[in-house]
Amino acid sequence: MTLTADHVARLARDIPDPGFQPVPGMVPITQADYDEIAADLIAQAPKDGLWVFAYGSLIWNPDFDFTDKRIARARGWHRAFCLGWDYRFRGNREQPGVMLALDRGGSCTGVVYRLPDDALDANIHRLLRREMSMRPTAFPPRWIPVETDGGRLTVLTFAMNRKSGRYIGDLSDEQTADVLATACGFRGSMAEYLFATVSHLEEMGIHDRYLWRLQELTAARIDAMPQPDATASSAR
């Protein structure tokens, strides 16, 4: 990889959590909303278990319990930084971030996790709270088919709604890299997110050409940034 932990460290900043960031036309999801969505998803779950398809940060930070996991391929979907804009988690008002989502077309290889049958409600709530904070969501849960070494599964994932005003699917790789090389929020930088995602995919033998190009472009942009003058700093 061209993008390294050193690149990530250069962008590290201590940014306080600004709290919920309102989006025009959207309102915060309530506890009643979460309860209703969770109940519907559990009722719709296939008889062979409730599996969740991870393609981004859920791969390296699932934040829910699971009893099994497998490499899986989703056809008809691909990874894309197309969900904007993030003014809180890995971006701010001056340098907004852009989030990874599943967009239509192509194929995507990721990981599926099976949630424990005896704790579905608690773990679905954890997942929903992590992935959804506003309604109508630009990033709704949906069931998709995937292929694994253990056979075909119908799994839960979160995919981009192209009709949403938060869809920014027209960004070029160069424009996306500009964002990934600068945006930072209270949870860290976009470069850190990209580094963790690509690193874990490569460790599992999953090579995503789109993300690979972005990590190269992002590293080049960080390398081109002015660096603090170590001599001047030590002199002070």
Among 131, 147, 202, 216, the active-site one is 131
| 101 neighbors 197 (Cβ within 8 angstroms) | no
**Helix runs in 29-94, H state only:** 31-44, 57-60
In a 10 Å sphere around its CB, with 0-12 CB exposed, 13-18 middle and 19+ buried, how is residue 173 labelled? middle
| 157 neighbors 79 (Cβ within 8 angstroms) | no
Q: Is the bond leading into 136 cis (omega within 30 degrees of zero)?
A: yes
Residue recorded with tokens 């981004």:
56
Orientation angle between helical segments 209-223 and 190-203, nearest 10 degrees: 140
Distance CA 220, CA 180 (A): 11
Tell which residue, 48, 100, 43, 107, has the closest CA to residue 214.
100
Distance CA 65, CA 68 (A): 10
Q: Is 131 a catalytic residue?
A: yes
Residues catalogued as catalytic: 131
